Amino acid sequence: MKTILITGVTRGLGRALAEWYIAHGHTVIGCGRSAEILNLRFTHPAPHDFTSVDVAEENKVALWSEHVLARHGAPDLLINNAALMNTPKPLWQVPAAEFNRLIDVNIKGVANVIRYFAPAMVARKSGVIVNLSSGWGRSTSPEVAPYCASKFAMEGLTQALAQELPAGMAAVPLNPGVIDTDMLRQAWADGASSYPKAEAWAKVAAPFILQLGPKDNGKSLSVSALEG
C-alpha cells in the first residue's frame, strides 16, 4: 500500500481520487481550503491526514510539510491537483487580481508543494510526482487564456523537473480529459453536465496513476473516464 499526497482534496478530481485510494487501502494525505476538510478528517481518521492549507502560501506549505514528513515520511505518490479556473472572458477583461490568484495557485502553488516535499522523495530516490495538466495545457480556447497559460506552464515545469530527478523517480504532467466538475461548470455552465463525473473518472484514473513509474518520466500523458 502507498502513501499518497493530494492537493485540492476537498472536491472534484482530488476528492474523487482520495476516496478511491482510501477505499482500496492506501493512506491519503490531503490539503484543501474549504470547510469540507473537517468532514474528511471526521470520515477518514488516522492514518489518513487532512489539513487546511492554501498551497499559494509558501509558509503554510512549509509548515504542513514539516508535519507530514515527520509523521508519515516522504510520500510515494504526490498529486498536485489544486487549481483555479478564471471566469470566462477575453484576456484583457480578466481583472489583475483574478489573474494573479490563478497563477499563484495553479503554478506557484505546485512549485511550493514540490519545493517542500520533493527533497525527501529525492533523498529516498523513489516516488512519482503527478502534476494535473489539461487539454487546455496542450491546446487553447477563447476566454480561458489565464487557465491555458497555467496549464501550458504545468507541461513545461513538469518536463523540466523530470530531467532533474534521479533514476528511480518520475514526474508526469497528466491531462484528465473533460470531467463534470465545479471548475468545468464555471467554464461551460450547463454544458458540463454531459461529461463524466469525477467519481467515474477516478475509477479509471486512480489505478492508472498507481502504475506510473520511472518508465513514464517526463511523458505528457492523458487518462479519460471514457477509457473505462
Spatial strand order of the sheet with 169-175 comes to 49-52, 27-32, 3-7, 77-80, 127-132, 169-175, 221-222
CB 13 within 8 A of CB 132: yes
| Alpha-carbon gap, residue 134 to 220, rounded angstroms | 10
CB 26 within 8 A of CB 2: yes
Task: Report which DSSP code applies to 55.
Answer: T
Task: Report which DSSP code applies to 105.
Answer: I
Report whether the peptide linkage leading into residue 176 is cis, meaning its omega lies within 30 degrees of zero.
no
Task: Please name the residue that has the C-alpha cell 490568484.
Answer: 101
Judged by DSSP in three states, 54 sits in coil
Query: Which cell goes with 21?
Result: 485510494
**Residue 147 catalytic?**
yes
CB 220 within 8 A of CB 159: yes
Query: Which cell goes with 63?
Result: 509548515
CB 3 within 8 A of CB 27: yes
Q: Which residues are catalytic?
A: 147
